[in-house]
Amino acid sequence: MSVLCYNRGCGQTYDPKENAETSCTHHPGMPFFHETYKGWTCCNKKSTDFTEFLNIKGCSVAKHSNDKPPEPEKPQEIIEAPVVEEIRAPVYVPKERPSSDEPLIALPQSVNNGLAKTLESLSISAKGDEEEETIKPGTSCKNKGCKTSYLGPQSNALRCLHHEGAPIFHEGLKYWTCCQRKTTDFDAFLDQAGCIEGKHMWLKPKSETENVDKAKSCRFDWHQTGSHVCLAIYSKVPIPELSHITANQVKLNVSIIFGVERQEFASDFKLFGVIDLKQSKVSFLGSKVEISLKKAEPVNWLKLSLPEDD
């Protein structure tokens, strides 16, 4: 029975029954590799060629050994646990709320080109407050939902489709009580054609216009981004030179004159948060007024305004 000798430099097979003290020629030392040299520590024999190194004859004689030498221990890798740095969000400390009694200043305003042309064509301005009994060209029909404007006597022959009911705004839906065509889009609501045909009414009867307050409640919506709160007041053909929008850091006063009849929307808002007046502005458009309020603090507004007694 032949077994393999594990003595370094031997590598022969032998019969354990015939294993004498001089049977194995081997190297008792360890191999070393330094720069281009390969050799043995026991006899200091070395070579630059690997094949010659393997053929270097052993320098010691002894019995063959079938005991496999232990593998050299590998250095243990030290695995350092990753350092976890806890990054905490900055603690936000709200500023003290300014007084609502601070002076109100007018917000910067701009006028859309389309609105400017409309105002010019309808001759709506701050001048000439006296009302005339004659029908002016461009006067819109007073029947609700009719979009016809007076351009001369021939306009009387045009169909007048209008709504005789009242507008309803409930839980996001907009519709007229007379035809119940519900929608969530305000522009689509305004574009709904009338459901009843009748005669145009260019001027309201004096009985309806005398001693009647011109104030009118307009629909308005608001939304917010991370930096701004935007308020949209849907007043068709607003007149910038007759309107006044002022504010301080926590209060907004709005007075908008709009339409040929010079109706008025007026409201005061005790703002939920604080605004930066220098970066807030007003834009007059054809069908609405947009008020952009720059937040002074990076907080989410739960609502547009607070009750006056808060």
The b/e string for 115-152 (b: 16+ C-beta within 10 A; e otherwise) is beeebeebebeeeeeeeeeeeeeebbbbbebbebbbee
Residue that terminates a domain, selected from 202, 225, 258: 202
**Owner of token pair 């009242």:** 166
Most confident of 52-61, 79-88, 240-249: 240-249
Q: What pLDDT, in 10s, does the model give residues 138-151?
A: 888 988 888 899 98
Residue 85 lies in a domain: no
Residue 248 lies in a domain: yes
Residues 219 and 299 in one domain: yes
pLDDT of 302: 93
- Decide if pLDDT at 155 tops 80: yes
DSSP-assigned letter for residue 75 = P
Looking at per-residue confidence, does 157 or 207 come out higher? 157
Are 250 and 275 within 8 A, CB to CB? yes
Residue 247 lies in a domain: yes
Residue 96's pLDDT band, with cuts at 50, 70 and 90, is confident
Residues 224 and 297 in one domain: yes
Average of per-residue pLDDT across 56-64: 86
Residues 282 and 242 in one domain: yes
Looking at per-residue confidence, does 247 or 217 come out higher? 247
- Terminal-residue alpha carbon distance, the chain: 104
Residue 131 lies in a domain: no
Residues 308 and 238 in one domain: yes
Please give the structure tokens belonging to residue 174.
Answer: 């907009």
Q: What percent of the chain has pLDDT over 90?
A: 28
Range of the domain at 37: 3-62
Q: What pLDDT, in 10s, does the model give residues 264-295?
A: 899 999 999 999 999 999 999 999 999 999 99
Residue 86 lies in a domain: no
Closest C-alpha to 55, from 40, 34, 74: 40
- Supply the CATH number for residue 192's domain: 4.10.1130.20
Residues 156 and 247 in one domain: no
Residue 79 lies in a domain: no
pLDDT of 208: 44
Output the average pLDDT for the chain.
Answer: 83
Q: How many domains does the chain have?
A: 3
- Decide if pLDDT at 235 tops 80: yes
DSSP-assigned letter for residue 44 = -
Looking at per-residue confidence, does 130 or 70 come out higher? 70
Looking at per-residue confidence, does 276 or 163 come out higher? 276
- Supply the CATH number for residue 283's domain: 2.60.40.790
- Decide if pLDDT at 205 tops 70: no
Residues 117 and 144 in one domain: no
Residues 53 and 194 in one domain: no
pLDDT of 214: 47
pLDDT of 64: 83
Residues 229 and 116 in one domain: yes
Region of 35 (left: φ > 0; alpha: ψ -120 to 50; beta: rest) is: left
pTM of the model: 0.46
pLDDT of 210: 41
pLDDT of 78: 56
